[in-house]
Amino acid sequence: MKSIELVGAVVRSLDTHKAKDIRVLEVRDVTALADYFVIASTTSTTGVHALVDYVDTDAAKLDVRPIRTEGYQTSLWTLLDYGTVVVHIFLDSTREFYDLERLWQDARQLDLAMFLEDEKS
């Protein structure tokens, strides 16, 4: 599966399950860590857990599993590492504190419409 296809599946999962302020950063030109970061947030630790579980389940349907998951127990910031795609799901206040969008401001931000158009039609 191509990285961009996984990004699309993750974005659709987050959107369907009411994640807030979903962002996709193409980071391949600014770091060797991944090709894409998907960033989203929610208002509660229960919401973080739920979003992580939904993304994990939806990716598994595509036969994709994370290499590792970090932060699931505290649910302030959970990271799902799929190799070329890293998903960051934050509690709102934690996202504001770490401000990954500012940290990775040199990355290209992708328009979510390219992932959600088919779903809305």
Report residue 64 as tokens: 């994709």
Task: Note down the domain range covering 54.
Answer: 3-120
Cβ(48)–Cβ(78) under 8 Å? yes
pLDDT (tens digit per residue) in 40-88: 999 999 999 999 999 999 999 999 999 999 999 999 999 999 999 999 9
**pLDDT mean over 23-46:** 96
pLDDT value at residue 121:
44
Which CATH number fits the domain that encloses residue 57?
3.30.460.10
Which pTM was predicted? Answer: 0.93
Instruction: Look at residues 41, 117, 111 and name the one whose alpha carbon lies nearest to residue 78.
Output: 41
Rounded to whole angstroms, the Cα distance separating 85 from 38 reads 7
Give residues with Cβ within 8 angstroms of 13, minimum separation 6.
54, 55, 58, 59
Provide the domain count of the chain: 1
The number of CA neighbours under 13 Å toward the Cβ of 6 is 25
